[in-house]
Amino acid sequence: MIPTPIGNATPHATGFWRRYIFSADHKVIGIQYYLTAMAMALVAGALALLMRIQLTWPGIRLSWLGKLFPAGMPGGVMTPEFYLSLITMHGTLMVFFVISLALVSGFGNYLIPIQIGARDMAYPFLNMLSFWLVVPACLIMLGSFFVEGGAAAAGWTAYPPLSALPQAVPGSGWGQTLWLLAMALFIVSFTMGGLNYVTTILNLRTKGMSMMRLPLTVWTLFFAAVLGLLTFPALTAAAIMLLFDRHFGTSFFVPGGLFVGGEIVPHEGGTPLLWQHLFWFLGHPEVYVLLLPAVGMTFDVLAAFTRKPVFGYRLVVISLIVLTALSVVVWGHHMFVSGMSPYLGEFFTIGTMLITVPSAVIGLCLIASLWGGCLRLTTPMLFAIGVIALFGTGGFGGIFLGNATSDIFLHGSYFVVGHFHFMIGGVTLFAMFAATYFWFPKMFGRSMNERLGRIHFWLSLIGFYGMFLGMHFLGLNGLPRRYYAFTQFEILKPLQGMHLWISISSFLFAAASFLFLFNFFWSLARGSRAARNPWEATTLEWTVRSPPPHGNWEAEPPQVHRWAYEYSAPDAARDFTPQTVEPDGAMAPK
């Protein structure tokens, strides 16, 4: 393992196992991550639909599901504890095992080396290891549904004492322990990935690829990796302490004097708020880990389909730096009404309102990137524009929640559910779709079907707004989240009407997603062959054949002569100039 400036592509692997299963090729690993995320998305999405069904028709009987979950849905009727397992697992899977895996690990692995002109990641073996750690993590998470007591049920935030005491809720038995173990594996894997990203981006850039010539995708992945490395340890520490509280009788989080399930709890002196601080120290930056790469990929797609450079490349980079720095000091905005000192509340609300500034600058750059362009409304472009819209609405919702005073009323309501689905559900999913349609030709050498893609877009857009826009206003009306049913309160009953529409929208969204899946696998086999550079884009990945060979570059790694967004350059022959073209334009793209 002698480091070379161009990356350490392992010798070309032969044989099915080395090539497709235990491969150290960053592209194979990226695709493996992506497909894993897709499988987990099916599960997490199915859980969401189950939740929607229960909320819309409380107590409905689905006999066939009773067979799969005899304890959670006896006779096909969902129990409250099973609903809580559903929200917990849906949230956890979506955040860590779908969006993180698809965007950061999937596209991150695929794109970083090839966009910076490296042959592979700095540590390909570590990379492979990191994927093969996530697989057991996924299996443990899924398996936890089938242990006694069912899957964890304390929410994806796993607040103790609920998550610490098995007698507090059925899911806090083995389900919660498995949840913690799976998260630990995930964190180890993600840390390995982060080390690879940071070193690769800093040290393996090809000749001429200065930092300010990087595509924004790479910039955002870089900050996502840095944030992951610096903040996940807080959750590791918290998870270790929670495991000790659960199994070895320590009292890090569990206070004394509790009386649960008819028994005195034998703990003394712990502080539940400590968990919340540690969790959100990770939890808030984690949303940026998801959000930033989504935004970066959107910029790349926008540039290709406006046929012009993105607006404010420098501004975006500066904003990313500011955002990354601020994002580790605003976690308390999740805890305004938690019992934390009100002075801290003031500090965090002021900090959170500050973080709207770089976010809004990025928003401006997204929207201004359209200005003067000649928009080619292909499927990836439609999704990218969707990202801009979702980012706006989601961001504006955040202003209500980061404001301590209005959060007194909105905290823990469906406003929150609407808001975070726009941000970490919508922006990320739409960006993921945009990225998939955009890079699919590169990844598989075939194109996805454009017509189906556009239908997919429209159904998703309508479905998504139908699901989550109205939720903000349910929250404004006082509807609390994490409720198994809204039947017990007089003030909540009048709100039941909107739930039907939300659920219908969620079915629409699910149907659209199946269309996407069909398109994906159909195109994999039958899509028309794609050339090297079907979108006439400028970045390095488009200069090699599709799919790229092992080691990415057939001969020497490319030399870069210009920044990533040289579209419609005035004296160039065509409306795009790949990064490899020399300044005088002598070397035309192949």
Partner 1 sequence: MGVIFNILMRNHPSTLAAATTGPLQGRSHGLLLALFCLLVPFLCFLFWKQHQPPPVASEHGAGIDLMINYLLAAVGGLLLVGHAILAWFVWRFSRQDRVTFRLATVRTEWKWALVPVVLMLLVAEGGVLVFGVPVWKKFYVAKAPANALTVEVTGQQFVWHFRYPGKDGLFGRTHVKFIDDDNVLGLDPTDAAGRDDLIVNGQLRLPVNRPVRLRLRSKDVLHGFFLPSQRVRQDIVPGMLIEVWFVPNQAGQFEILCTELCGLGHHMMRGLLQVMPEREFEQWLNQNHS
Partner 2 sequence: MQMELTQTSGLSGGTSSALERNQGSDANPPWALSTGELALWAFLATVTMLFAAFASAYLVRRTGADWQPIDLPGILWFNTMVLLSSSGTMELARRRRERFNGWLAITTWLGIIFFVGQGLGWRQLAAHGVYLSTNPQGSFFYVLTGLHGLHLAGGILFLGHALNRAARAHSDGRDDAALHGVATYWHFLAALWIGLLVLLSAL
Q: Which stretch binds partner 1 (CB under 8 A): 34-42, 59-67, 362-370, 581-589?
A: 362-370
Q: Which stretch binds partner 2 (CB under 8 A): 223-231, 292-300, 358-366, 540-548?
A: 223-231
Rule CB under 6 A: is residue 95 a binding residue for ligand HEM? yes
Alpha helices in 248-341 (DSSP H): 272-306, 313-327
Number of residue whose CB is nearest Cu ion: 284
Number of residue whose CB is nearest ligand HEM: 91
CB 39 → partner 2: shortest distance, Å? 28
CB 99 → ligand HEM: shortest distance, Å? 5
CB 229 → partner 1: shortest distance, Å? 28
Measured between alpha carbons, how far is 234 from 542 in angstroms, rounded to an integer?
A: 39
What does the DSSP 8-state code read for residue 166?
T
Measured in Å, how far apart are the chain's first and last C-alpha atoms?
33
State the sign of the Cα–Cα–Cα–Cα dihedral 500, 502, 507, 512. Answer: positive
Q: Are 415 and 345 in contact (CB under 8 A)?
A: no
CB 329 → partner 2: shortest distance, Å? 13
Q: Which of residues 480-519 bind ligand HEM (CB under 6 A)?
A: 481-482, 506, 509
CB 508 → partner 2: shortest distance, Å? 35
Measured between alpha carbons, how far is 459 from 513 in angstroms, rounded to an integer?
A: 9
- Residue of the chain from 21, 211, 212, 374 that contacts partner 1 (CB under 8 A): 374
Q: Are 148 and 123 in contact (CB under 8 A)?
A: no
Task: Specify the residue, 132 or 483, whose C-beta has the smaller distance to ligand HEM.
Answer: 483
Rule CB under 6 A: is residue 156 a binding residue for ligand HEM? yes
Measured between alpha carbons, how far is 4 from 117 in angstroms, rounded to an integer?
A: 13
Place of tokens 């420098």: 314
- Site track for partner 2 across 276-305, x = CB under 8 A: -xx--x------------------------
Task: Specify the residue, 105 or 552, whose C-beta has the smaller distance to ligand HEM.
Answer: 105
CB 53 → partner 2: shortest distance, Å? 39
Q: Are 134 and 33 in contact (CB under 8 A)?
A: yes
Rule CB under 6 A: is residue 51 a binding residue for ligand HEM? yes
Query: What does residue 576 show for φ and ψ, rounded to 5 degrees?
Result: -145, 145
Q: Which does 549 bind (CB under 5 to 8 A by kind): partner 2, Cu ion, partner 1, none?
A: none
Q: Which stretch binds Cu ion (CB under 5 A): 24-32, 124-132, 279-287, 548-556?
A: 279-287
Measured between alpha carbons, how far is 204 from 189 in angstroms, rounded to an integer?
A: 21
Residue count, binding to partner 1 (CB under 8 A): 125
Q: How many residues in the chain? A: 590
- Residue of the chain from 115, 189, 220, 306 that contacts partner 1 (CB under 8 A): 306
Task: Specify the residue, 61 or 574, whose C-beta has the smaller distance to partner 2.
Answer: 574
Rule CB under 5 A: is residue 419 a binding residue for Cu ion? no
Using DSSP's 3-state secondary structure scheme, residue 536 falls into coil
Task: Specify the residue, 32 or 506, whose C-beta has the smaller distance to ligand HEM.
Answer: 506
Q: Which residues of 423-456 are buried (b: 16+ CB within 10 A; e: fewer)?
A: bbbbbbbbbbbbbbbbbbbbbbbbbbbeebbbbb
Tokens for 118, please give them.
């490296």
Q: Which of residues 191-210 bind partner 2 (CB under 8 A)?
A: 191, 194-195, 198-199, 202-210
- Site track for partner 2 across 333-372, x = CB under 8 A: -----------------------------------x--xx
Using alpha carbons only, how large is the chain's radius of gyration in Å? 24
- Residue of the chain from 33, 179, 232, 430 that contacts partner 2 (CB under 8 A): 232
Rule CB under 6 A: is residue 479 a binding residue for ligand HEM? no
Rule CB under 6 A: is residue 183 a binding residue for ligand HEM? no
Measured between alpha carbons, how far is 288 from 283 in angstroms, rounded to an integer?
A: 9
Q: Which residues of 184-206 are buried (b: 16+ CB within 10 A; e: fewer)?
A: bbbbbbbbbbbbbbbbbbeebbb
CB 226 → ligand HEM: shortest distance, Å? 21
- Residue of the chain from 15, 64, 262, 314 that contacts partner 2 (CB under 8 A): 314
Alpha helices in 485-585 (DSSP H): 496-526
Alpha helices in 403-449 (DSSP H): 404-410, 414-420, 428-444
Alpha helices in 144-271 (DSSP H): 174-203, 216-247
Q: Which of residues 70-89 bind ligand HEM (CB under 6 A)?
A: 87-88
Residue count, binding to partner 2 (CB under 8 A): 63
CB 25 → partner 1: shortest distance, Å? 24
**In 3D, which of 127, 130, 119 has the Cα closest to residue 188?**
130
Task: Specify the residue, 108 or 397, whose C-beta has the smaller distance to partner 1.
Answer: 397
Q: Which of residues 418-457 bind partner 1 (CB under 8 A)?
A: 441, 446-447, 449-452, 454
Rule CB under 6 A: is residue 475 a binding residue for ligand HEM? no
Q: Which of residues 131-170 bind partner 1 (CB under 8 A)?
A: 153-155, 159, 161-162, 165, 168-170
Task: Specify the residue, 27 or 284, whose C-beta has the smaller distance to Cu ion.
Answer: 284
CA dihedral 508, 513, 519, 521 (to 10 degrees): -140
Q: What is the 3-state secondary structure (H, E, C) of 88-134?
A: HHHHHHHHHHHHHHHHHHHHHHHHHHHHHCCCCCCCHHHHHHHHHHH
Q: Which does 284 bind (CB under 5 to 8 A by kind): partner 2, Cu ion, partner 1, none?
A: Cu ion
**CA-angle at 308, arms to 302 and 582, nearest 5°:** 115
Q: Which stretch binds ligand HEM (CB under 6 A): 73-81, 218-226, 302-310, 422-430?
A: 422-430
Measured between alpha carbons, how far is 87 from 168 in angstroms, rounded to an integer?
A: 17
Measured between alpha carbons, how far is 194 from 104 in angstroms, rounded to an integer?
A: 9
Rule CB under 8 A: is residue 270 a binding residue for partner 2? yes
Interacting residues with Cu ion (CB under 5 A): 284
Interacting residues with partner 2 (CB under 8 A): 3, 5, 122-123, 191, 194-195, 198-199, 202-210, 212-213, 229-234, 236-238, 240-241, 244, 248-252, 256, 268-271, 274, 277-278, 281, 313-314, 368, 371-372, 560-563, 566, 568-572, 577, 583
